[in-house]
Amino acid sequence: GVGFYQVNQKNGQRHSTATAYLKPCCDRLNLTICTSTQVTSLLWEGNRIVGVEYIQDGGLTNRIKVAREVILCGGAINSPQLLMLSGIGPAEHLKALGIPVIVDLPGVGQNLQDHLLAGVIYECTQPLSLDKANNIGNFLKYLLFKQGPLTSNIAEAGGFVKTRPDLATPDLQFLFAPLYFQNHGFNRREGFYFSLGATLLHPQSRGYISLRSPQPLVQPVIEPNYLASEADCECLLTGVEMSRQLIQASAFNQFRGKEIFPGSGVEKKEDIVDYIRDTVETLYHPVGTCKMGNDSMAVVNSRLQVHGVQGLRVVDASIMPTIVSGNTNAATIMIAEKAADLIVATCQ
């Protein structure tokens, strides 16, 4: 389908899970929130996880023991990192870093998938776009009434399409932004523009997360392997071609100016592929590094419990076996909602 996107927004602002779920519960006696705190390892007793060790404010190391289980929700980068630091992961990799292997799970950190966007940008012939929305009038409108252009989620409209009729589900998601959008919005340009981007929904390429060091404060290696598969490139190529076609629709006649990117000189397939490889950007949707399943590369079972370990679940985007056909935030919230039901059921 095609239309305006639904957003997680309240009073003109992005409504995060912290404000929607945590803030209303802050006063509960059975909830303690530790900020500026990094969990550095999981604590073992036999094959059971019984707590976590953490560093607070970059200084003191502390431990917390749990009565029932630990729920790990560090996201697709840090959940596999913490599992590996704690001896759960690919045995050879852990041994090479001198980490004692407690459970050999080769899938930890593997299967990394993400959504990539490649787009086109056109001049807008009317002074309507958001390029100049950043002004005092709009700022006051936002501040006083939580309304106006500054409440925009930028990618306001879009749609899902199949690039081949034989596909079971769409493989491209279009995002229309009424402004110049390139390099995550960091590149600016004087004037008025609009952008249309195609997102590769089901990448064939797989990346991985691995440890650089057994030290928990050292960032892990993130190897996304973007566009390693030619099929991914082909799909985005179709996406850029379709974007160009869509913008030739008569509805754009009164707004369409010069094509800025890829630009009129970029017509041959190999030139468009070069353009895609140069400008493609992540939508920040990493998933899959602690995938759910029963095969040899699975990390958690259908109750999100880590295979071969007692007292430990992973509840975040890392458990998706394959990336969802759309933005990942709502899907991750649904994983957490399902996990809450599973946990409550275990306690009853």
Ligand X SMILES: Cc1cc2nc3c(=O)[nH]c(=O)nc-3n(C[C@H](O)[C@H](O)[C@H](O)COP(=O)(O)OP(=O)(O)OC[C@H]3O[C@@H](n4cnc5c(N)ncnc54)[C@H](O)[C@@H]3O)c2cc1C
Token code pair at residue 195: 């952008």
Mark the segment that binds ligand X (CB under 6 A) among 69-77, 92-100, 204-212, 296-304: 69-77
For residue 213, state whether it binds ligand X (rule: CB under 6 A): no
Whether 285 sits among the annotated catalytic residues: the reply is yes
- Which of 202, 285, 291, 313: binder of ligand X (CB under 6 A)? 285
The answer to whether residues 89 and 72 touch, using CB atoms and an 8 Å cutoff, is: no
Nearer residue to ligand X within complex by CB, 224 or 262: 224
For residue 332, state whether it binds ligand X (rule: CB under 6 A): yes
Nearer residue to ligand X within complex by CB, 236 or 314: 314
For residue 78, state whether it binds ligand X (rule: CB under 6 A): yes
Nearer residue to ligand X within complex by CB, 85 or 273: 85
Least Å from the CB of residue 150 to ligand X: 16
For residue 114, state whether it binds ligand X (rule: CB under 6 A): no
Smallest CA-to-CA distance from 222 within 212, 232, 213 is with: 212
Pairwise CA distance, residues 137 & 152, whole Å:
15
Nearer residue to ligand X within complex by CB, 40 or 125: 40
Residues within window 171-190 making contact with ligand X, judged by CB under 6 A? none
* Count, residues near ligand X per rule CB under 6 A: 18
- Which of 317, 323, 324, 339: binder of ligand X (CB under 6 A)? 317
Mark the segment that binds ligand X (CB under 6 A) among 35-43, 197-205, 238-246, 272-280: 35-43
- Which of 44, 74, 138, 150: binder of ligand X (CB under 6 A)? 74
Q: What is the 3-state secondary structure (H, E, C) of the chain?
A: CEEECCCCEECCEECCHHHHHHHHHCCCCCCCCCCCEEEEEEEEECCEEEEEEEEECCCEEEEEECCCCEEECCHHHHHHHHHHHCCEECHHHHHHCCCCCCEECCCCCCCEECCEEEEEEEEECCCCCHHHCCCHHHHHHHHHHCCCHHHCCCCCEEEEECCCCCCCCCCEEEEEECCCCCHHHCCCCCCCEEEEEEEECCCCCCEEEECCCCCCCCCCEEECCCCCCHHHHHHHHHHHHHHHHHHCCHHHCCCEEEEEECCCCCCCHHHHHHHHHHHCEECCCCECCCCECCCCCCCECCCCEECCCECEEECCHHHCCCCCCCCHHHHHHHHHHHHHHHHHHHHC
Nearer residue to ligand X within complex by CB, 158 or 262: 158
Mark the segment that binds ligand X (CB under 6 A) among 23-31, 70-78, 142-150, 198-206: 70-78
Nearer residue to ligand X within complex by CB, 69 or 123: 69
- Given the residues 15, 184, 285, 307, select the one marked as catalytic: 285
For residue 39, state whether it binds ligand X (rule: CB under 6 A): yes
- Which of 73, 97, 242, 297: binder of ligand X (CB under 6 A)? 73
Mark the segment that binds ligand X (CB under 6 A) among 68-76, 102-110, 219-227, 261-269: 68-76
Residues lying near ligand X in the complex (CB under 6 A) are found at: 37-39, 73-76, 78, 82, 284-285, 316-317, 327-330, 332
